[in-house]
Structure 1
Amino acid sequence: MKAAGIILAAGRGSRMRNLTEERPKCMVELAGKPLLHWQLSALRRAGISSILVVRGYLAGCLEASAATGEFATAENPRWERTNMLSTLLCADEFARKSFALGVERLIVSYSDIVYHWEHIGALLSCPEDIAITYDTEWEALWTLRFGDPLLDAETFRQEHGLLREIGGKPASLADIHGQYMGLLSFSQTGWNIMTKLCADLGEAVDKTDMTSFLRLLLSRSIEVGAVSVAGKWCEADSGADIQVYEKALEQRGWSHDWR
């Protein structure tokens, strides 16, 4: 399947504190490489060579180089006042050109995650026009990060590969079938659904995060595919996450080692 990739890298990542004073969040290093380099590598190993990075904070730090390989860029000049959905819309020109050139799916990735390249293949195999991955082994990762996995968890429920609920406050672990990872897929039809719904939202788009958008899709009875994976990914939301992961990687066979 011919696919293209979009990495949403406009934000600073304020919870990284001093780690992002002079670089965007995606340039913070984990296991010897910036987060962005891990993402680019995973996309290319999955056979995706056409990649767009949507920039914002310290955009000049995100340039193609010998270390990264080639990628296109787009800008979110309003990154300080907008959310992930607005950043995704900044990729609209790239998306439409990609579909016109025969691309069948777009893989969209948050910039603060790392993941095994095989997760991309699993996502591409989903027939739904809009799809996401979720981690069935999320509890181990959240326990490592937070101690009590419910402290930062949200409801996630799927049935027969379709998302049914996301983003609520869980009463127990039974309310969580997995953890949404920040990795999505759109067909051309799915992309058109997304942009039409954003147009309907108007100015509210700026305050709409991706989980809220997925909830909105469900409220409109728009099907969202839910593709399960088991570990082999991480979300780096803070400097503490980076430290925890570096230590965990010292253990052979760690369930969430994405490399």
Structure 2
Amino acid sequence: MTIERAVILSAGKGSRLYPHTEERPKCLLDLSGRTLLEWQLDALAENGVRDVAVVTGFGHDHVAEVIARRGTAKGGIELIFNPFYQVADNTGSVWLARGRWDRDTLLLNGDTLVSPELIAAVLANDVPISVTVDRKDAYDADDMKVLREDGRLLRIGKALTECNAESIGLLAFRGAGRAAFVEAVERVMASPDGVRVWYLSVIDALAAGTVIGTTDIHGHRWQEVDYPADLDAARALTAAWTVEDWARR
């Protein structure tokens, strides 16, 4: 059975993109006539993922305006406001949306630009938990590094000294994997340091005793948007997608 539900984490302020994000959140940056969030929603909708929750924080009202204008023709969008976005890391946003994991779910970072074809490749992997990864010749300090073997994730984290892939910020949860993840998130959030934990640290801890798969999307086009140079690359990529879309008509 395919996945029809997704959670997008878009609560952060995106301060590394100042001045572009001083008044509007990163997910509403304009990329070739559409916001980053709209590109994400369209890629999901083209694959039948039309039940989406967006966890917001900074700029919630602006996001609500964009969603209201979008309407429901391509699916329903629920906004979940995270009032703790300035003091809690993204595991807090996952915790607020944990009720969404009662069905198979995609989890997407709000700054990851992806194509419909990439989403289709992720949906084709039916393991209980799958981390979407790409490969390149070298990895820097800001990459979310992954160590994997025969498709199984062994470790994930920015501080890894040994790695052979990077996470792009897109995960899929099916069946028993959903419950395992939510239970782990609830344990972490009940701990004294819970608000300072990234959700991928939860995945790293789970990997020690749970089989977590990876989906290699090497060759597909995507772009993380963290810095001004990333914004330029994202605009170039979406401009190319727009031209390709018109050429297909």
**Class of the TM-score when normalised by the shorter of the 2 chains:** 0.7 to 0.9
Q: Which residue of 1 aligns with 2:91?
A: 85
CA displacement at 1:95 relative to structure 2:
3.2
Q: Relative to 1, partners in 2 of residues 1:47 and 1:243: Cα closer, same or farther, differing over 3 Å? A: same
Provide TM-score, normalisation by structure 1.
0.80
Query: Superposition pairs for residues 16-55 of structure 1, below 5 Å?
Result: 16-55=17-56
Q: Output the CA distance in 2 between the equivalents of 1:126 and 1:154.
A: 21
1:73 corresponds to which letter in structure 2?
L
Shift of 1:161: 1.6
In the other structure, the counterpart of 1:106 is: 105
- Encode CA deviations 1:196-252: one digit per residue, 9 max, x unaligned: 112322232211113322211123x11111000023100000222112444577789
2:156 corresponds, among 157, 166, 189, to: 166
- Name 2:62's counterpart in structure 1: 61
Residue 23 of structure 1 aligns to a residue whose secondary structure is coil
Residue 24 of structure 2 aligns with an amino acid whose one-letter code is R
Distance in 2, Cα, partners of 1:251 & 1:50 = 27
Q: How far did residue 15 of structure 1 move?
A: 0.7
Question: Identity, % of aligned pairs?
Answer: 25
* TM-aligned CA distance change 1:76 to 1:248, over 3 Å: closer
RMSD of Structure 2 on Structure 1 (CA): 2.4
Q: What's the secondary structure of 1:60's corresponding residue?
A: helix
**TM-score of the superposition, structure 2-length normalised?**
0.83
Contact 1:40 1:68 in 2 (8 A): no
Q: CA deviation at 1:8?
A: 0.7
* Structure 2 CA distance for aligned equivalents of residues 106 and 244 of structure 1: 28
Residue 167 of structure 2: SS of its match in structure 1? strand
In structure 2, do the counterparts of structure 1 residues 168 and 234 end up closer, same or farther at CA, with 3 Å as the change threshold? Answer: closer
Corresponding residue SS for 1:200: helix
| Aligned counterparts of 1:154 and 1:9: Cα–Cα separation in 2 | 18
Q: Residue in 2 aligned with 1:120?
A: 119
> What's 1:71 paired with?
77
Distance change in 2, residues 1:249/1:125 (3 Å): closer
Deviation digits for residues 140-183 of structure 1 (CA, Å, limit 9, x no counterpart): xxxxxxxx753534542222221112225465xxx442220000
In structure 2, what is the equivalent of residue 131 of structure 1?
A: 130
Gapped regions of structure 1 (runs ≥ 5): 100-104, 140-147, 253-259
Q: State the distance in 1 between where 2:230 and 2:18 align.
A: 12
Task: Tell whether 2:229 aligns with 1:224.
Answer: no
Structure 2 CA distance for partners of 1:249 and 1:149, relative to 1, 3 Å: farther
CA pair 88-49 structure 1, distance change in 2 beyond 3 A:
same
Tell me the distance in 2 between the aligned counterparts of 1:199 and 1:87: 12
Residue 227 of structure 2 corresponds to residue 238 of structure 1: yes
Q: Is residue 109–residue 183 contact of structure 1 (8 Å, CA) maintained in 2?
A: yes
- Say yes or no: does 1:194 pair with 2:177: no
Aligned pair count reads 232
**Matching residue of 1:210:** 199
What secondary structure is seen at the aligned counterpart in 2 of 1:46? coil
CA change 1:94–1:248 in 2 (3 A) is closer
Instruction: Verify the 8 A CA contact 1:150 1:170 in the aligned structure 2.
Output: no
CA contact (8 A) 2:9 2:109 kept: yes
